[in-house]
Structure 1
Amino acid sequence: MQLIETHIVPKLEKSIRLQEYAVGIFKILPTKSGIKKAIKKELILVDGKTTSTAQFINGRETIELFQPKESVPFKRFKLELEILFEDDFLAIIYKPSGILVSGNSFATIDNALPQNLQKSTQTDAVRPRPIHRLDYPTSGLLLVGKTNSTIISLNKLFEKKEIQKTYHAITICEMNSFGFINFTIDDKNAQTEYEVLKSVISKRFGYLNLIQLKPKTGRKHQLRKHLLAIGNPILGDKEYYKENLILNGKGLYLHASSLEFIHPHTTEKITITKELPKKFTKIFPEF
């Protein structure tokens, strides 16, 4: 085996399981599932000894990551990203539509982050890591953690629903001016609040509606599934759609337009917005 990265654990206020702490501390191993696999393969050592996912980290340990000699070196994906906010702890970037946030693909936002963001000077600095996901065809704001403590804190804010996300979408067919959708997804509670900002008549779709969405839960494909459930699927959606009402070639008209939360370290209120893409304003030019 070959040593590829070493991490010195700073002083910690309380103990934390290795599988939780190690998320994001290595440049080539950013995910929790990746950490678990590496531990099981005995590629992660703590103070020179093999370990398990159940081990607790108390502070001052040396965590080493190894790789088999035959492994292919990690490559970074070159993509210039628009950065809307950045400090030593976190960043908010704009994710274009048509690209994955993370996953097995090489061409992901995750792989483009290190060369777009400034390296944190904090003692628990880690490889920049997306805190949440946006679907492949969705554009908009993406929150990124740059230190281990920040990643943990932001995940807790999401769990407590203390990060407010606002989306905009263009839907088809006539719909109520506002509403609250409360349909389960995968047998789990899912809630979405929406408001129609403007509607225009469409020969093909009946109506096109510019709507604002505030998800109260974070289920997979929640907004897309909820809007189809009330009979108003998102324009350009090829997965959740009405028969014969698919728009080809323009992509999905869903945009993550706003993030609002309290900064976990500075306690500053962060409110970042991103204007609607041009394909939206071509239909609704006043926005």
Structure 2
Amino acid sequence: MKITETHTSPNLPYGIRLSDYAVGIFASIPTKAGIKKAIKKGLILVNNQRGISGQFIVGGEKIELLEDENLIKKNIDLALEVLWEDDYLAVIYKPAGLLVSGNKAKTVTNALPFNLKPSTLENAVKPQPVHRLDFATSGLLLIGKTASSIRELGKLFEDKTIQKTYEAVTIGEMKNQGTINFPIDGKESLSSYLLLKTVDSERFDKLNLVQLTPHTGRRHQLRIHCAHIGNPILGDVEHGIEEKILKGKGLFLHAKSLEFTHPYTQEKLVIKKETPAKFNKLFI
């Protein structure tokens, strides 16, 4: 099996279990759950031997990550639209109704190696998304192709220097613009909106095409914020108003643009993907 990433542990003042120590050392597996799964599959070696979750890392160990051959054999038949790509990163379009990652084979993460050009750089890794999009949300997804670019892009999100813009269809009377400051899971959460179009609706009273900008990155933030001000997003089964939930048409939320400075070339990138046709049909 091919080794995709290698790490040498520094001297440690005390032993740390492999399942805890390995979190964060591999760019392609950033979570503890992912590390545990990789150990269980036998994809992590310690000094050329299969790693065990409870073994202690004390320093000087060579820790290696193997390629998951099961994913390669599946050769996931999922074509992704690639909007921008170089050796460091890529931006792809995720359709609504597709998982970014997870236990299922058909995910964006598993399909990336079959849709992107392999990076020619020394620290190339399996391409990884560096942020989230909900299953029901369509739009742009930023991908890292090297270990260093995954870290650098993650820092851009932490420093809030990547601007994400969404479009959504909301229900009910809305002001022309506004800011929503409402905590989620006890954490500060801030979004702003701009009303683009409005039409009367017999069932929903008003339907609005709005531009949404999240200034923090909480889970379901835009959906929760729109619901909080009384204007839930059309098709939101989880956060919508019970008698006004549209079923069977999907969620009307789309990640339309990404703006950021390339961390290596310093090029100013503005990547856009037009809103799906089902949005605009409501405002003809």
Q: Using structure 2 for the length normalisation, give the TM-score.
A: 0.85
Q: Deviations over 1:203-234 (max 9, x none)?
A: 11111000000001111101001101100000
The residue type paired with residue 44 of structure 2 is I
What is the aligned length?
269
Structure-2 change in CA distance of 1:72 and 1:182 (3 Å): closer
1:184-217, Cα deviation, whole Å (9 max, x unpaired): 1111111101010111111111110000000011
- Where does 1:149-228 land on structure 2 (aligned, <5 Å)? 149-228=148-227
Shift in Å at residue 246 of structure 1?
Answer: 1.2
Q: In the alignment, which residue of structure 2 is the partner of 1:6?
A: 3
Q: Is the 8 A contact 1:46 1:64 kept in 2?
A: no
Aligned CA distance change for structure 1 residues 209 and 23 (closer, same or farther; 3 Å): same
Structure 2 counterpart of 1:33, which letter? A
Q: State the match for 2:91 in structure 1.
A: 92
The residue type paired with residue 185 of structure 1 is I
Give distance in 2, aligned partners of 1:91 and 1:57.
35
Q: Which runs of 4+ in 1 moved over 6 A?
A: 51-58
C-alpha separation in 2, matches of 1:218 and 1:57: 37
Structure 1: stretches of 5+ with no match in the other structure: 12-16
Cα distance in 2 between the residues matched to 1:56 and 1:220? 36
Matches of 2:58 and 2:173, distance apart in 1: 56
2:134 corresponds in structure 1 to 135
Structure 1 match to 2:250: 251
In 1, Cα distance between equivalents of 2:242 and 2:184 = 22
Give 1:108's aligned residue. Answer: 107
**What SS does the aligned partner of 1:20 have?**
coil
Q: Structure 1's 53 and 219: CA in aligned 2 closer, same or farther, altered over 3 A?
A: farther
- Name the structure 1 match of 2:124: 125
Displacement of 1:236 in angstroms is 1.1
Residue segments in structure 2 that go unaligned for 5+ positions in a row: 9-20
Using the aligned pairs only, state the percent identity.
Answer: 54
**Structure 1: distance between partners of 2:183 and 2:83:** 34
- Superposed CA RMSD in Å reads 2.8
Letter of the structure 2 residue corresponding to residue 23 of structure 1: A
- Give the 3 Å change call, closer, same or farther, for CA 55–225 of structure 1 in structure 2: farther
1:231-250 to 2 correspondence within 5 Å?
231-250=230-249
Q: 1:259 to 1:54 in 2, by over 3 A?
A: farther
User: Distance in 2 between the 1:109 and 1:269 partners?
Assistant: 25
Aligned to 1:65: 66
Q: 1:23 aligns with which of 23, 27, 48?
A: 27
Structure 1 residues 57 and 227, CA gap change in structure 2 (3 angstroms): farther
Q: Structure 1 counterpart of 2:204, which letter?
A: F
The amino acid of 2:225's aligned partner reads H
Once the two structures are TM-superposed, the CA of residue 45 in structure 1 deviates from its matched residue by: 2.5
Distance in structure 2 (CA, Å) of the matches to 1:174 and 1:125: 49
Normalising by structure 1, what TM-score?
Answer: 0.84
